[in-house]
Amino acid sequence: MRKSIATVSLSGSLTEKLTAAARAGFDGVEIFENDLLASPLSPEEIRARAADLGLTIDLYQPMRDVEALPEEEFARGLRRAERKFDVMRRLGTDTLLVCSNVSPHAVDDDGLAAEQLSRLAALAQESGMRIAYEALAWGRHVSTYDHAWRIVERAGHPALGLCLDSFHILSRGSDPAGTADIPGEKIFFLQLADAPLMAMDVLQWSRHYRCFPGQGGFDIAGLVRLVLATGYDGPLSLEIFNDVFRQAEAGSTAVDALRSLIALEESAGISPLPAPAVPTGFAFAEIAAADPLPVTSLLEGLGFRRTGRHTGKPVDLWAQGDARILVNHGTGTRGDGPFLTAIGLETPEPRSAARRAESLLAPVLPRRRVDHDVPLDAVAAPDGTELFFCSTRRPGHPDWTADFASGTDFASGPDATAGPDVTAVADFTAVADEPQELSPAGPLTGVDHVALTQPWHHFDEAVLFHRAVLGLRPHESVDLADPYGLFRSRAMTGAGGTPRLVLNLAPAPAPDPRTRTQHIALTTDDITAAARRVRAAGAELLKIPANYYEDLDARYEFAPGTLDTYRELGILYDRDEHGGEFHHCYTATVGRVFFEIVQRTGGYRGYGAANAHVRLAAQRR
Amino acid sequence: MRKSIATVSLSGSLTEKLTAAARAGFDGVEIFENDLLASPLSPEEIRARAADLGLTIDLYQPMRDVEALPEEEFARGLRRAERKFDVMRRLGTDTLLVCSNVSPHAVDDDGLAAEQLSRLAALAQESGMRIAYEALAWGRHVSTYDHAWRIVERAGHPALGLCLDSFHILSRGSDPAGTADIPGEKIFFLQLADAPLMAMDVLQWSRHYRCFPGQGGFDIAGLVRLVLATGYDGPLSLEIFNDVFRQAEAGSTAVDALRSLIALEESAGISPLPAPAVPTGFAFAEIAAADPLPVTSLLEGLGFRRTGRHTGKPVDLWAQGDARILVNHGTGTRGDGPFLTAIGLETPEPRSAARRAESLLAPVLPRRRVDHDVPLDAVAAPDGTELFFCSTRRPGHPDWTADFASGTDFASGPDATAGPDVTAVADFTAVADEPQELSPAGPLTGVDHVALTQPWHHFDEAVLFHRAVLGLRPHESVDLADPYGLFRSRAMTGAGGTPRLVLNLAPAPAPDPRTRTQHIALTTDDITAAARRVRAAGAELLKIPANYYEDLDARYEFAPGTLDTYRELGILYDRDEHGGEFHHCYTATVGRVFFEIVQRTGGYRGYGAANAHVRLAAQRR
């Protein structure tokens, strides 16, 4: 279907909005009147600009407080409408959105409303225009779509129809099933907006918290199915009032917006996409570090071994159990030290995953970076993290590990002197020769989760991206108290519970990019042994205050000595209501990256949110 | 009365919180448990730190979900409480806040609640402690203060009393009059929090939007009067969960907090303050500019004349009608160009105004800056703007104009060559000699309003400051749409409608300080003549799009030719529902400063908010 967006949904000048909508791939726009009024371009110039960009102008909006008024006031509205029809003719659009009256002067008289709307429609018709009447959820007398439909039906004018808006219908809890009774040709326009489910004043909710379909709690797909069943064949158009989108760069918001409609078309059964190839786990995480030593020292301390080197790039493979970290010391020119640049996701069908991602507007990355690379499908997430779709050592698929020579070659590598001394890790089994050892034994067994703090403005976009593109399932959003503001945190998981990806949002405004930390949580079956191993290797664990352990002691009963050990090592503890337990500790932070070691028992599904404030305060010291 | 603050109300580490509370002048603190748990200081060290700072620890909080539970769960709570009593003993505090149970396991049985709370109180008593039971507004079975009181009364234990919290009482719309029935000695603690009146989920409202008394919509003073009438003599304590305060610097938040309590004590009739000496108008506005030429060129273009020079500093006085602008080119080392540094407020009793300001923690500025200055009372507003209390040319008061020599001396001034040529302003009457002319005639007659964009984090503080310290009355807050986010704007006026001060809040995050614009609006009786004068003098007025005027034409009827003139000059227009009219136009912005020219007729009281989006978009171009 044709896809449109209201200019009010995007930031910037009208020109910037049109350009962003066109570049993202929208077919048309609704022109929000204030955007026109504030623009130095004439309606003719706006029309030409839109046409040059391949955009149609599908709606002019809104006209307010025009119907169900005393005659003198209505006459002024008609005069105003006449001028607007002229503007619309010059813009090259033919549909005017009229919102139900919110004025205290409005009369509670459906007959009067119908009669006046009919006269307005007749005037519109003379100019080749038509009127789409919409019930605002806070309209003075008309606030539901079925009421608006009764008035339109009663008016019975061919140039008068309805505009349906998902927010106004669903925010009031109206049953959208009644839309099935409206003839499709009388639905002139369909505006779509989602919103988080909040108990708040509907006007404030609408003006500040709307979001793109799939980012809130409404069943937009269900509504769209109903409306399409009527025969409606106009555009699916987004009209989003959102304080964050008002500030965000219009280009990325427009991509986020169009992605939401493409995903919506899939879930409403309008246009299929390549089926999701939901990741099952992490193949690797890649850290870029101009100076790799701080990271590799940490990895050594954690018990990782350098088991391979990329044949064409200065990238080392460090492994332990099923956890694999690539340390790339050929990039990392940023001043803020090591940071996580890429994640490898174990994916049953990498090609299919990439095709779906591309359909959903994910930027596709080159399959080969250097000659002879194994060709890997990869896309960029909204925060810039590169996502590689991997099928590690599965027959019939390219295998990323083939790019890595085994560890025996390290001594002759280009900067072996810069890296840590592999032989220092003497506690573990020797490096295998061919193929290089992918899962050397150690106290850590794999990756539990990866947590990425998102740039301000892109949190909801990131959640939708990972849900729609990868098929991960978002869990409840939680607030975490940092000494200098609230973090928002939302976990997303694959079908079988893995991989676990945690998206965080730093308190705004957060001008300091160092607060955009990233961490890799590693699993162990024995938190105490793992933590002791780290300490024995000379690495530090985050120091946790004694007061925390006194509180643990007040809340739970532990085996004798356990809390002393936990206090000594800085191990945190949480227990869920089903008795599931979570034991975890943290390394120091290098650049933006730190590591967590976690042990889950008894089916614990969380991430230790109850301890986050203690950890965040300790990290601030 | 003693004044306390809960550590959760301030940002930072526990040490930072204690330091900020003490420096502001608080007597005590409530220790929020999570702040203790996250602190590396032991309870003994915290006690010593607080004592060193002159702070008592008035409450330990909160203990949750302890009462009205099955016996086994209650026993675990008792065990936990015992540990907490030990922590409290080490902290040197004797009152534990217990919140009404929110757990799904809680039983709806007042008898059980009373019996278990009584047992808890008995245990507390053994340790010399007592329990303050508080009804959370979202408590599972106990959510009102009168219900909590019935349980406390039924328990009848001397170590069990109530904690009253203004938010929990007033957010639910409970009638606080019932507090009069509670014996004062059974009210163990009084927590105060205000909040903007919002229709939203009470838990979210409480956790994110609480603010200091006087910053929201609750009648906190009325509640305090009722509670004091019971004989309560404990502290007035602030417990504020607020997303902005969590991020703001703790020192300034603590001052804001204490100021709110001092103002509250005045309005509740507890402690009088020096009476407000409400300003009646603007004496001057001062702009600092390392390079004064861009500002003085604008002033010349607007018809101002340089009528005086400070006898001891490189500060020129520019005047027109009753508008006076000081241009200070001796400071202004900031890189962001000219900005407004000070406002002179016509004040009936400057000394009294200053004493009141000082009582309300306004930083007092030196009365003399250079030798022989006329001594003026001045304080700093939260955004750093200096406020001078002036009684211009009123007998018996120092007169700031005495510092300024008349304009005839200018040719010999130290940098007369750098300034504009005074003789170029040939349209207006010649400069008088002695005393220097304060109100030379011109198209502009005075200052209509001054608008200052506040630093992020200090908006509510600024509103309270100007209300409490100066006695200005805040009007409704409005949202203004900028192309890159929403501005919040709130006008404040003196008793007779003047002076008008407008506080703006730029969209967050706004790292660009240039978005913190400031403007001075000047009055005229003839907007067209004033605008033409500016243009004739070669200065530019902000260009307003033609589309805007087509819309004006659609909405209102104008005398023939008026809209053509307005379009040509960039004059904006608004009309209120009573027929009052507002005509206004804008200069270019220099540094952070621009000027507006306004003409009000028919009792128009607003500030042209309907046009703000057009003006903001034009300023962004």
* DSSP one-letter string for B292-334: -HHHHHHHHHHT-EEEEEESSSSEEEEEETTEEEEEE-S---S
pLDDT of residue B434: 47
On the question of a cis peptide bond just before residue A435, with omega within 30 degrees of 0, the verdict is yes
Residues 6+ apart with CB under 8 A from B412: none
- Give the H/E segment covering residue B445: strand B444-454
pLDDT of residue A499: 98
| Residue A423 scores a pLDDT above 50 | no
| Residue B588 scores a pLDDT above 80 | yes
Residues 6+ apart with CB under 8 A from B124: B81, B85, B96, B130, B131, B159
Question: How many C-alpha atoms does B268 have within 13 Å on its Cβ side?
Answer: 23
Q: Which of A43-52, A117-126, A186-195, B476-485 has the lowest mean pLDDT?
A: B476-485
pLDDT of residue A436: 60
Cα B164 to Cα B227: distance, rounded to the nearest angstrom: 9
Cα A268 to Cα A387: distance, rounded to the nearest angstrom: 27
Cβ of residue A551 closer than 8 Å to a chain B Cβ? yes
**Interstrand relation of B130-134 and B95-99 (parallel, antiparallel or unpaired):** parallel
Nearest to B429 by CA among B414, B439, B417: B439
| Residue B509 scores a pLDDT above 80 | no
User: Distance of CA A136 to CAs A73, A133, A374, B127, B425, Å?
Assistant: 20, 10, 56, 61, 56
Comparing alpha-carbon positions, the chain A residue that sits nearest to B483 is A12
Token readout for A152 is 């339109």
Chain A residues in contact with B614 (beta carbon < 8 A) = 34, 37-38
pLDDT of residue A514: 63
| Residue B430 scores a pLDDT above 60 | no
| pLDDT, tens digit, 9 for 90 and up, residues A61-108 | 999 999 999 999 999 999 999 999 999 999 999 999 999 999 999 999
pLDDT of residue B455: 85
User: Distance of CA A64 to CAs A58, A164, B164, B553, Å?
Assistant: 18, 16, 46, 16
- Give the H/E segment covering residue A586: strand A581-586
Q: Which of A199-208, A463-472, B161-170, B278-287 has the lowest mean pLDDT?
A: A199-208
Residues 6+ apart with CB under 8 A from B16: A483, B10, B250
| Residue B32 scores a pLDDT above 60 | yes
**Interstrand relation of B95-99 and B56-63 (parallel, antiparallel or unpaired):** parallel
Q: How many residues does chain A have?
A: 621
Cα A334 to Cα A348: distance, rounded to the nearest angstrom: 34
| pLDDT, tens digit, 9 for 90 and up, residues B280-307 | 999 999 999 989 999 999 999 999 999 9
The pTM of this model reads 0.93
Q: What percent of chain B has pLDDT over 90?
A: 84
Three-state DSSP class for residue B95: strand
Which residues sit opposite B323 in a β-bridge?
A: B320
Asked if B554 lies within 8 A of A79 by C-beta distance, the reply is yes
pLDDT of residue A511: 57
Three-state DSSP class for residue A580: coil
Q: Which of A80, A508, A554 has its CB closest to that of B83?
A: A554
What is the rounded average pLDDT of the residues A28-32?
98
pLDDT of residue A510: 58
Residues 6+ apart with CB under 8 A from A353: A276, A277, A279, A345, A347, A377, A389, A470
On the question of a cis peptide bond just before residue B398, with omega within 30 degrees of 0, the verdict is no
Contact present, A42 and B547 (Cβ < 8 Å): yes
| pLDDT, tens digit, 9 for 90 and up, residues A166-213 | 999 999 999 999 999 999 999 999 999 999 999 999 999 999 999 999
Q: Which of A85-89, A453-457, B449-453 has the lowest mean pLDDT?
A: A453-457
Nearest to B408 by CA among B448, B381, B435: B435
- Cα-flanking dihedrals φ and ψ of residue A204, to 5°? -65, -40
| pLDDT, tens digit, 9 for 90 and up, residues A315-359 | 999 999 999 999 998 865 555 689 999 999 999 999 999 999 999
Cβ of residue A548 closer than 8 Å to a chain B Cβ? yes
Cα A621 to Cα B153: distance, rounded to the nearest angstrom: 46
Chain B residues in contact with A554 (beta carbon < 8 A) = 79-80, 82-84
Asked if A87 lies within 8 A of B507 by C-beta distance, the reply is no
Asked if B484 lies within 8 A of A246 by C-beta distance, the reply is yes
What is the rounded average pLDDT of the residues A581-601?
97
The position carrying tokens 């603050």 is B5
- Quote the Cα angle for B505-B506-B509, to 5°: 120
Asked if A79 lies within 8 A of B456 by C-beta distance, the reply is no
- Write down the number of H helices and E strands in chain A: 18, 24
Residues 6+ apart with CB under 8 A from A217: A194, A195, A196, A197
pLDDT of residue B413: 39
Asked if B485 lies within 8 A of A550 by C-beta distance, the reply is no
- Quote the Cα angle for B523-B529-B531, to 5°: 70
Prediction ipTM score: 0.92
Question: How many C-alpha atoms does B236 have within 13 Å on its Cβ side?
Answer: 27
Contact present, B519 and B298 (Cβ < 8 Å): no
User: Distance of CA A420 to CAs A292, A416, A586, A590, Å?
Assistant: 9, 8, 21, 16
Asked if A481 lies within 8 A of B84 by C-beta distance, the reply is no
pLDDT of residue A374: 85
Chain A residues in contact with B550 (beta carbon < 8 A) = 83, 87
What is the rounded average pLDDT of the residues B63-84?
97
| pLDDT, tens digit, 9 for 90 and up, residues B81-112 | 999 999 999 999 999 999 999 999 999 999 99
Chain A residues 468-487 with CB within 8 Å of chain B: 479, 481, 483-486
Task: Please state, rounded to an integer, the average pLDDT across all residues of chain B.
Answer: 92
Comparing alpha-carbon positions, the chain B residue that sits nearest to A66 is B555
Token readout for A118 is 């009919």
Three-state DSSP class for residue A5: strand
Cα A188 to Cα A162: distance, rounded to the nearest angstrom: 5
Chain A residues in contact with B77 (beta carbon < 8 A) = none
Contact present, A43 and B547 (Cβ < 8 Å): yes
pLDDT of residue B511: 58
pLDDT confidence bin for B513, thresholds 50/70/90: low
What is the rounded average pLDDT of the residues A547-572?
97
Q: How many Cβ atoms sit within 10 Å of the Cβ of residue A335? A: 8
Alpha helices in A373-505 (DSSP H): 459-468
| Residue B167 scores a pLDDT above 80 | yes
Q: How many residues does chain B have?
A: 621
Chain B residues in contact with A510 (beta carbon < 8 A) = 509
Percentage helix, strand, coil, to 5, in chain B?
A: 35, 25, 40
Nearest to A44 by CA among B355, B114, B498, B550: B550
Q: Which of B247, B509, B545 has its CB closest to that of A484?
A: B247
Token readout for A266 is 């899939």
User: Distance of CA A229 to CAs A146, A519, B382, Å?
Assistant: 17, 47, 59
Task: Please state, rounded to an integer, the average pLDDT across all residues of chain A.
Answer: 92
Chain B residues in contact with A41 (beta carbon < 8 A) = 545
Q: How many Cβ atoms sit within 10 Å of the Cβ of residue B183? A: 13
Token readout for A70 is 């005393």
Cα A543 to Cα A618: distance, rounded to the nearest angstrom: 7
Asked if B546 lies within 8 A of A12 by C-beta distance, the reply is no
User: Distance of CA A574 to CAs A289, A554, A558, A579, B178, Å?
Assistant: 33, 13, 12, 10, 42
Asked whether the CA dihedral B506, B508, B511, B512 is positive or negative, the reply is negative
Q: What is the DSSP letter of B423?
A: G
Chain A residues in contact with B198 (beta carbon < 8 A) = 200-201, 204
Three-state DSSP class for residue A379: strand
Cα A222 to Cα B468: distance, rounded to the nearest angstrom: 53
- Cα-flanking dihedrals φ and ψ of residue A94, to 5°? -125, 5
Three-state DSSP class for residue B190: strand
pLDDT of residue B405: 83
| pLDDT, tens digit, 9 for 90 and up, residues B332-366 | 555 568 999 999 999 999 999 999 999 999 999 98
- Cα-flanking dihedrals φ and ψ of residue A110, to 5°? -60, -35
Three-state DSSP class for residue A231: coil
Question: Chain B interface, mutation test: which of A35, A72, A76, A551, most B Cβ atoms within 10 Å?
Answer: A551
| pLDDT, tens digit, 9 for 90 and up, residues B524-573 | 999 999 999 999 999 999 999 999 999 999 999 999 999 999 999 999 99
What is the rounded average pLDDT of the residues A33-60?
98
| pLDDT, tens digit, 9 for 90 and up, residues A540-550 | 999 999 999 99
Cα A16 to Cα A251: distance, rounded to the nearest angstrom: 8
Q: What is the full DSSP assignment across A490-556? A: EEEE-TTS-SEEEEEEPPSS---GGGS-EEEEEEES-HHHHHHHHHHTT--B----HHHHHHHHHH-
| Of the ranges A365-369, B114-118, B204-208, the best mean pLDDT one | B114-118
Q: Which residues of B531-544 are buried (b: 16+ CB within 10 A; e: fewer)?
A: bbbbeebebebbeb
